[in-house]
Each structure stands twice: as C-alpha cells, then as structure tokens.
Amino acid sequence: MDSQHTESFKNFRNVYAALLTADPVNNKDSAEKLWQMINSKKGGYIEFYNGSQKYMYCSPIGVNNWMLLTVTPASVIEDKTNMVLNKTYLLGILLIAIFLLFIWHIMRIHTRNQKELMDIAYVDEVTGGHSFAKFFKEAELLLPETDKKTAIISMDIDGFKYFNDMFGYGEGNDLLRYIWQEVKASLNEGEILAHGVADTFIFLLRFDTREELLWRINDLCLHLNNYITKSGQVYKLSLSMGIYEVDGETDDIVSMADRAYIARQTIKNKGDTAWAFYDGAVRDKLLHEKEIESQMEKALAEGEFIAYYQPKYSTKEQKLIGAEALVRWRRSNGIIVPPYQFVPLFERNGFINKVDRYMFELVCRQQMRWLKQGLIPVPISVNMSRMCLYDPHIVDEYIGVLNGSGLSAAYIKLELTESAFFENISIMNNVIEALHKVGIKVLMDDFGTGYSSMMMLKNVAIDVLKLDKSFVDDIGDDRSEKIISNIIYLAHSLQIEVTAEGVETAAQFEFLKSVGCDYIQGYYFGKPQLAEDFAALLQKEFYDGSDAGADKKG
Ligand code: C2E
Ligand code: MG
Ligand code: MG
C-alpha cells in the first residue's frame, strides 16, 4: 500500500536496490541485514535513510515464504512513543498529585485533631484562657528566669457553691470570667494565669520584695471586693489565696502549685478575703501529715484505732438508750489521739473508709461480746464519713460485716454527717434504702451546720436528726430557742426523732426537755469513755436502775 506522503519510500521493484539508491553510504549495512532477514525467513527491522530516517519492519506472513515489509518514518514512531510517554508522565504526575493531596489531607486532619486535643488540654472552656496544664507548661519555661523572684498563687472563691446555687451557673461562670479578666489585666510581662476546675485559679507573679508582692495581692483583692450581678445586686466577694514563694526547695512546678494549694487550705472559708504563705508552719503540718500517713495502715492492722462510747439518754425518763462510738487512735506509746487530728486527713486521702468500716466491725463484735456476757446492750451508732458514699460496694460490705458478726441490726445505727446529704441526694437515698431494708437506722449528724438543712428533711428518709452542738450552745438566746423548738416540731411531724448533741448544762437540758427533744448526748450526762467503763454503765443502768438519773450528771 502506498502512502500519499511525498517522501514515501515507494516506486521501486527491488527493495535492496532502492535502499542503496536512496542512500548508498548509510543504507549499505541495512540492505545487508534485510537480505539476511528475508533469507532466514525471520522477522525483524532495519533502520535506513531516504531523505529522513525510517524504519522498515519485515515480518513473514506464513504464505509462500512471502514477507510483509512495512516502512514507517522514525518521526511517526517518535511522535507515537512521545505521546505514550507523555501520557504516562501525565498519569504519573496525576497519581503523585493525588497521593500528595491525600497525604496533605491526612496531615490536615491530624493537625486539626491535634489542635482540638491541645485546645481541650490547654484552653480553659469557661474563660477561654489557659488551662492548668498549659499553665504548668508555660511556668516551666518562665521559672529559670532569675532576674526577679517568683511566686505561685493558688486562689479560690469562698462559698462559690452557694453563689452558684443562689444566682445559677450562668452567673457563676460570669463571675469566674470577671475574676479572670481582672487578674489578667493586673499581670505584667512574664506573668501567667489559669483557671482550673470549679472556682480555682492559679497565677504566677514576679517580684523583687515581699512587700511589693503583698502590695500587688492586696491591690488585687481590693479590686475584686465587690461583684455586681446581672440583676444589679452587689455581691461581696471573699477570696482565699495561698502563696508559694519559689525558694529552690523544689523545682517541680506541680509541687509548687501543691504548696500554694496547701497554704490556701489553711485559711479556707475564714470569711473575708485572706491570703497565707506556704511557710514553716504549713511545712511542719505537711510533714506531720506525711508521718501519720506512713503509719496509718500499720496502726489499723495492729488495732491502734479504738472506740470510745458516749452515752445517749432519753430526755423524759433519763434512761440510757444508746451510745455513739467515737474513734480514738491509741498510739503505741499510749497517747490517745483525738479524731480532729487525723479524721480530716483520712477524709482527704480516703483512708477514712477503712477506719469507718473497721469501727463498724469493732462495734458489732463488741456488742456481741456484751450480749454473750449477759449484758443488755443499747443500740450504738457508728459514724460513716461522706467519703464512704462514693464507694458503691460500701452498703453490701457493711451488711456483710453485720451478718458475719451475728448481731441484730437493732443494736447498730449509722451516723452520716449532714454535708454528706446534700452532696448527692440520690446516692444517699439509695444507701439509706438499702440500710433500712436490713433494719439499720440512719442518723443525720451535725444537723443545722449545712446551708440547706431543711431541704434535706424533705428529700431523705432519715430516722433521727442530731441537732448540732452549735444550736445547743445558743440556748438562752430567744431566737435560737425558737428555732430549736420549731426544728423539733418539724422533725416530729415528719416522724423523725431528735437527739441534741453537746449538752453540757442543766439549763440546756431543761430547755431541750421542755421543747420535747427526744434524746440527749453530751458531757452533762456522760463523756466518751472506754468500752470497760461503758459496760459498767450498762450494767449499772439495768441491774441498778432504781436510782436512774441520780448521778448521771457530770
Ligand atoms: P460527731 O460525730 O458530731 O461527734 C460528737 C463530737 O462531740 C465528739 O467529739 C464528742 O466527744 C463531742 N462531744 C459530745 N458531747 C460534748 C459536749 O458536751 N461538749 C463538747 N465540747 N463536746 C462534746 P470527738 O469524739 O472528738 O469527735 C469529733 C468528730 O470526729 C465527730 O463528730 C465525727 O465527725 C468525727 N469522728 C469521730 N469518730 C469517727 C469515726 O469513727 N468515723 C468518722 N468518719 N468520723 C468520726
Ligand atoms: Mg457523730
Ligand atoms: Mg455530731
């Protein structure tokens, strides 16, 4: 088939001659090679010149030893291959671009997630400022700068919970933002601030002298003294600040913050804005607590925690009707440590759960022993810290202990402090219900010390209300007496009995009797005493009951 192209290699009769005619020098070898290919009946190709470079393909067609010769200019082949190559390159580039786009997308998602995580960890939701985590990170960078002294200040608002309850969470958050803004505005370069959980703040200040530091703190306090709510009410703000002056004793920022926090705890809720330094006294207290913590487990295992029993009397007949078991720590050297020296610490570190459970078991066993000795015991109430309520197994454990001891539930009661009630009413009700099911009665301890005592009466099914000593102390004051008599009236109308705590004088006793208080616990009738002494009292009460009440006083 002939091509129409002017340069086409055609119009010849002998292909060898035509090759040699076209270009005798360059085509000589090609003509030879073609000769051999045709003779050998094998296919192949040659390169030759006819004005321009060309290829001749030679392929046997399988009929009569005929060969098909095809001529194609090199330029056509190049065009074709270039086109294929170009397409391949393009495809490659496209694939690489898609791949890069994909990687870029993944990276973008990753960075976005990373940023979101960072935001969660480092940005405080309420104020939009630093979180504590971010504060610690930044403080670490600032600490090595020693041109000035550094203080870490832990701050919170006294009674923030009440503020929230009074004005609502929205207003509570506004207050937090207000404080954040004011403190932030007072900061100099190289100083930082963060808001943590609830109403806690932490900030880092730089100063030259303590006077200067205190001047700034006082100035800030003054500034934050009054807060005007949305409704225009002026709320008097009272803040607590704990100050840790960086002194090289530790270089760990978290320990520094802990120390500032500890300093703050020493003045918590003292009314009015106040600050305290982490100093020698605080350090000693901390060391003392560390020492107690290192000994508590061993003390519990070795039976150093013992129960003192404080009798309770009926007001009408002045009969012994029960007792409260109060923990004491009898150290190996014989010294008796009162609960205020260790119960608050154990409540903080969680050890109180073990002590309370131990006391419960101890009292159950003691009651069984008295029963076996032929004594007629009275119900004894055991204190249960509010920490226990957060242990979901606690009720089952207590019931297990009671059943294991063989004691009737009528001989044991539980006292829960009032503050435990408003912390979580639903947990509390579950606990009370479970205890009632097995016949254990529940007393609300320290009634009247919380801020919503009346609400508690409405919401929880307690059996006895223990009127706090602070009410009893006020007997003699007309208004206080009215409050007491009405609390008793209210309790009775809800089928709740009332025990007055901390009754010390005849006048207090007479008043409580006159307003129908059911039971009395206090030094007037009896102090907390050792088990032996209490057993003697039981014996006296029931075997020598004729002069009941005669020498109970004192
Ligand atoms: P509470 O449960 O309200 O116990 C009453 C406290 O008032 C007892 O102090 C008792 O000795 C004291 N008291 C009783 N009558 C009078 C009185 O007429 N005048 C005065 N001034 N005080 C009186 P105690 O034994 O020092 O216990 C203090 C607190 O320690 C208890 O208050 C209770 O909250 C806690 N506590 C005691 N034992 C335990 C326990 O086993 N577990 C737990 N979680 N807390 C306990
Ligand atoms: Mg109690
Ligand atoms: Mg009490």
User: Residue 469 C-alpha to ligand 3 middle, in angstroms?
Assistant: 7
User: Residue 75 C-alpha to ligand 1 middle, in angstroms?
Assistant: 108
- The answer, yes or no, to whether any atom of ligand 1 lies below 6 A from the CB of 358, is no
Q: Do residue 292 and residue 274 come from a single domain?
A: no
Q: What length is written for the chain?
A: 554
Q: Which residue has the tokens 């009314």?
A: 271
- The answer, yes or no, to whether any atom of ligand 1 lies below 6 A from the CB of 446, is yes
Of 133-142, 282-291, 334-343, 394-403, give the lowest mean pLDDT range.
282-291
pLDDT at 390: 76
Ligand at shortest distance from the CA of 308:
1
Please say which residue of 225, 249, 278 terminates a domain.
Answer: 278
Query: Between vectors from CA 67 to CA 65 and to CA 68, what angle results, nearest 5°?
Result: 150
Q: Do residue 253 and residue 301 come from a single domain?
A: no
pLDDT at 3: 72
- The answer, yes or no, to whether any atom of ligand 1 lies below 6 A from the CB of 435, is no
- The answer, yes or no, to whether any atom of ligand 1 lies below 6 A from the CB of 343, is yes
Structure tokens at 375: 């004594």
User: Residue 526 C-alpha to ligand 2 middle, in angstroms?
Assistant: 15
Amino acid at 462: I
Looking from the CA of 384 toward its CB, the CA atoms found within 13 Å total 30
Structure tokens at 279: 């100093």
CA 472 to ligand 1: nearest atom? 18
- Average pLDDT on 57-66 reads 88
pLDDT in tens, 268-292: 756 666 899 998 777 888 788 889 9
- The answer, yes or no, to whether any atom of ligand 1 lies below 6 A from the CB of 502, is yes
The whole-angstrom distance between residue 153's C-alpha and the CA centroid of its chain comes to 21
Task: Please state the domain count of the chain.
Answer: 3
Ligand at shortest distance from the CA of 343:
1
User: Residue 198 C-alpha to ligand 3 middle, in angstroms?
Assistant: 29
In a domain, 234, yes or no: yes
- The answer, yes or no, to whether any atom of ligand 1 lies below 6 A from the CB of 245, is no
Nearest CA to ligand 1 atom 19: 502
Q: Which residue has the tokens 């009569």?
A: 64
Query: Between vectors from CA 402 to CA 337 and to CA 296, what angle results, nearest 5°?
Result: 25
CA 523 to ligand 1: nearest atom? 18
CA 308 to ligand 1: nearest atom? 25
Looking up residue 522, the CATH number of its domain turns out to be 3.20.20.450
- The answer, yes or no, to whether any atom of ligand 1 lies below 6 A from the CB of 194, is no
In a domain, 107, yes or no: no
Burial 529-539 (b: 16+ CB within 10 A, else e): bebeebbebbe
CA 352 to ligand 1: nearest atom? 44
In a domain, 521, yes or no: yes
pLDDT in tens, 91-121: 999 999 999 999 999 999 999 998 888 777 8
User: Residue 324 C-alpha to ligand 1 middle, in angstroms?
Assistant: 9
In a domain, 9, yes or no: no
Q: Do residue 270 and residue 303 come from a single domain?
A: no
Distance between CA atoms of residues 435 and 412, nearest Å: 11
Structure tokens at 124: 């405080």
Q: Do residue 318 and residue 467 come from a single domain?
A: yes
User: Residue 221 C-alpha to ligand 2 middle, in angstroms?
Assistant: 38
Return the CA Rg of the chain.
46
Looking from the CA of 504 toward its CB, the CA atoms found within 13 Å total 9
Ligand at shortest distance from the CA of 499:
3
pLDDT at 452: 63
- The answer, yes or no, to whether any atom of ligand 1 lies below 6 A from the CB of 311, is no
Q: What confidence tier does 135 reach under pLDDT thresholds 50, 70, 90?
A: very high
Of 164-173, 319-328, 529-538, give the lowest mean pLDDT range.
164-173
pLDDT in tens, 210-234: 999 999 999 998 888 889 888 888 8
- The answer, yes or no, to whether any atom of ligand 1 lies below 6 A from the CB of 383, is yes
Burial 162-174 (b: 16+ CB within 10 A, else e): ebbeebeeebbeb
Residue 544: is its pLDDT beyond 70? no
CA 382 to ligand 1: nearest atom? 41
Q: Which of 469, 468, 464 is nearest to 432 (CA)?
A: 464
Q: Do residue 137 and residue 164 come from a single domain?
A: yes
Residue 551: is its pLDDT beyond 60? no
Of 394-403, 445-454, 540-549, give the lowest mean pLDDT range.
540-549
Q: Do residue 393 and residue 536 come from a single domain?
A: yes
In a domain, 303, yes or no: yes
- Average pLDDT on 157-175 reads 88
CA 347 to ligand 1: nearest atom? 44
Nearest CA to ligand 1 atom 20: 502
User: Residue 444 C-alpha to ligand 2 middle, in angstroms?
Assistant: 8
In a domain, 306, yes or no: yes
Distance between CA atoms of residues 443 and 501, nearest Å: 12
Structure tokens at 516: 């129908």
Looking up residue 228, the CATH number of its domain turns out to be 3.30.70.270
Strand ranges in 268-317 using DSSP code E only, listed in sequence order: 274-277, 305-314
pLDDT at 75: 85
Q: Do residue 390 and residue 417 come from a single domain?
A: yes
Please say which residue of 78, 94, 122 terminates a domain.
Answer: 78
Determine if residue 10 is left, alpha or beta; phi over 0 gives left, psi from -120 to 50 gives alpha, anything else beta: beta
pLDDT in tens, 346-369: 988 889 999 999 999 999 999 999
Residue 36: is its pLDDT beyond 60? yes
CA dihedral 468, 470, 476, 480 (to 10 degrees): -80
Amino acid at 76: V
In a domain, 88, yes or no: no
pLDDT in tens, 504-515: 999 999 999 999
- Average pLDDT on 117-143 reads 91
User: Residue 90 C-alpha to ligand 1 middle, in angstroms?
Assistant: 87
pLDDT in tens, 10-34: 778 888 888 998 899 999 999 999 9
The whole-angstrom distance between residue 197's C-alpha and the CA centroid of its chain comes to 8
In a domain, 94, yes or no: no
Please say which residue of 39, 58, 78 terminates a domain.
Answer: 78
Q: pLDDT exceeding 90 applies to what percent of the chain?
A: 63
Q: Do residue 444 and residue 362 come from a single domain?
A: yes
Helix (H, G, I), strand (E, B) or coil at 69: strand
Residue 209 lies in domain: 132-278
User: Is 153 in contact with 194 (CB distance < 8 Å)?
Assistant: no
Helix and strand tally (H, E) in the chain?
A: 19, 19
404 or 247, which is more confident?
Answer: 404
CA distances from 376 to 175, 321, 372, 392, 538 (A): 58, 11, 9, 34, 7
Amino acid at 552: K
- The answer, yes or no, to whether any atom of ligand 1 lies below 6 A from the CB of 352, is yes
- The answer, yes or no, to whether any atom of ligand 1 lies below 6 A from the CB of 43, is no
- Average pLDDT on 136-160 reads 91
pLDDT at 270: 64
Amino acid at 15: V
Q: Do residue 210 and residue 341 come from a single domain?
A: no
pLDDT at 548: 44
Q: Do residue 233 and residue 305 come from a single domain?
A: no
Ligand at shortest distance from the CA of 447:
3
CA distances from 317 to 155, 376, 454, 498, 550 (A): 53, 18, 29, 15, 11
pLDDT in tens, 357-413: 999 999 999 999 999 999 999 999 999 998 787 787 889 999 999 999 999 999 999
Ligand at shortest distance from the CA of 442:
2
Ligand at shortest distance from the CA of 339:
1
Distance between CA atoms of residues 382 and 394, nearest Å: 14
Q: Do residue 407 and residue 435 come from a single domain?
A: yes
Q: Do residue 350 and residue 494 come from a single domain?
A: yes
User: Is 99 in contact with 80 (CB distance < 8 Å)?
Assistant: no
- The answer, yes or no, to whether any atom of ligand 1 lies below 6 A from the CB of 416, is no
